[in-house]
């Protein structure tokens, strides 16, 4: 049931006129309680932040972390669109606020699509208000919302889980421009747990740090990345530890779905580094391997070219001793002590031919561990991105 699984939420998705034809291009997630929900968000670190990011930041600051609705549109990122773009994002919030009889700053907004294309809101308000009037809490409503936010995704990305008295639901989109400090992605999470905005913000940031910030498709950081969580409180207080675990599990599921659905991807690879000087260096080294275009090409060709992996580890800037490095594919060592070793080539080939690959590196210099989830790079990605998309 995704975002409508927890108590106190309704959703809708449909066409408001941003995309051509009748393609779904707008989703609404609304809190149905008398009081606004506790709200928190994590946004892109890109300094070219899109208008909706700036508007949502301002609204969260104005309300002290409270919101009644989130509106998400697809088809136009409304990024690098100047003052008119900011006015359009604000007008979108105004239309939702009017339809839901709430204050404009109680509405958060996220948008996705092409960058640098003017966002003309004129004429869209009636359709947006009509969509708001049709929100509901059925599976169909949740599915329609999840489908309305997609761009190059092959299908919706959703999550729902129960945790000892409360529930967490979520929907997301993202299939490219996935890199550290979020990914080219939008995500809306809901929970019926009761949680103060400040604590909710901390828990969300912790969840994002170990999930969305641990994936890589193409090394690009988007202008629009947004993760929002709303807490209705209808299930009563929850243990911070359990709520944090629930948010992390939801984000981890969405993050994996994004990498699995990456543009043109044929393989998903879990790159793990152990034996680093510390966890931070382990993650840095894993990121270097996971984001390497040469390693990604090797994954696409199912080629166990460990030399490229070692080269990326050595260039990553972490503590490194070539004579202590080892590399394994699917648990099978192909490099030990910085040199190639005899191994079961057929077993390695069989592992690399599968949809999911495990690439493990040991630096042999300390206790640090870290991992990044990535995918291969092949013709499908180039076909999607060699022109404006």
* Residues identified as active-site: 184
Q: CA 322, CA 9: separation in Å to the nearest integer? A: 54
Token digits for 319?
Answer: 């503590």
Token digits for 45?
Answer: 């670190």
Token digits for 208?
Answer: 């994002």
Q: To which residue do tokens 């988007």 refer? A: 222
DSSP per-residue letters across 304-335: --HHHHHHHHHHSSS---GGG-EEEETTEEEE
Q: φ and ψ at 256, to 5 degrees?
A: -65, -40
DSSP per-residue letters across 8-62: TEEEEEE--SSSSTT---EEEEEE-SSSPEEEEEEE---TT--HHHHHHHHHHHH
Rg (CA), the chain: 22
Phi-psi region of 194 (alpha: psi -120 to 50; beta: other; left: phi over 0): beta
Q: CA 68, CA 110: separation in Å to the nearest integer? A: 14
The crossing angle, in degrees rounded to 10, of helices 197-209 and 240-260 is 40
Q: How many CA atoms lie within 13 A of 346 on its CB side?
A: 0
- Taken as a whole, the chain contains a residue count of 389
SS3 206: helix
Please give the angle made by the CA atoms of 128, 134 and 138, to the nearest 5 degrees: 130
DSSP 217: S
């Amino acid at each position: 049931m995704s975002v409508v699984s927890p108590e106190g939420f309704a959703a809708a998705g449909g066409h408001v006129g941003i995309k051509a034809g009748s393609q779904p291009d707008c989703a609404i997630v609304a809190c149905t309680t008398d009081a606004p929900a506790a709200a928190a968000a994590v946004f892109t670190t890109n300094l070219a932040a899109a208008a909706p990011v700036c508007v949502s930041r301002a609204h969260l600051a104005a309300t002290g972390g409270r919101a009644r609705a989130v509106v998400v549109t697809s088809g136009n990122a409304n990024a690098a669109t100047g003052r008119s773009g900011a006015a359009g994002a604000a007008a979108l919030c105004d239309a939702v606020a009017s339809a839901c009889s709430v204050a404009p700053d109680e509405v958060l907004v996220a948008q996705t699509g092409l960058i640098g294309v003017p966002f003309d809101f004129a004429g869209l308000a009636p359709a947006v208000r009509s969509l708001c009037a049709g929100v509901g809490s059925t599976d169909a409503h949740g599915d329609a919302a999840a489908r309305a936010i997609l761009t190059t995704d092959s299908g919706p990305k959703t999550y729902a889980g129960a945790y000892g008295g409360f529930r967490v639901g979520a929907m997301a989109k993202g299939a490219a421009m996935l890199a550290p400090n979020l990914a080219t992605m939008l995500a809306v999470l809901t929970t019926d747990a009761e949680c103060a905005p400040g604590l909710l913000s901390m828990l969300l940031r912790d969840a994002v740090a170990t999930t969305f910030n641990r994936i890589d498709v193409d090394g690009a950081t988007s202008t629009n990345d947004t993760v929002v969580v709303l807490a209705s409180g209808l299930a009563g207080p929850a243990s911070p530890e359990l709520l944090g675990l629930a948010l992390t599990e939801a984000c981890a599921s969405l993050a994996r779905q994004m990498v699995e659905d990456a543009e043109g991807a044929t393989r998903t690879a879990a790159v793990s580094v152990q034996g680093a000087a510390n966890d931070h260096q382990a993650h840095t080294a894993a990121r270097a391997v996971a984001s390497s275009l040469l390693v990604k090409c090797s994954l696409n060709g199912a080629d166990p070219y460990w030399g490229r992996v070692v080269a990326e580890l050595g260039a990553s800037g972490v503590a490194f001793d070539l004579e202590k490095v080892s590399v394994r594919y699917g648990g099978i060592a192909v490099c030990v002590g910085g040199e190639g070793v005899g191994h079961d080539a057929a077993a390695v080939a069989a592992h690399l031919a599968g949809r999911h690959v495990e690439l493990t590196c040991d630096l042999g210099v300390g206790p640090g561990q870290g991992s990044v989830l990535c995918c291969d790079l092949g013709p499908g990605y180039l076909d999607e991105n060699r022109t404006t998309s």
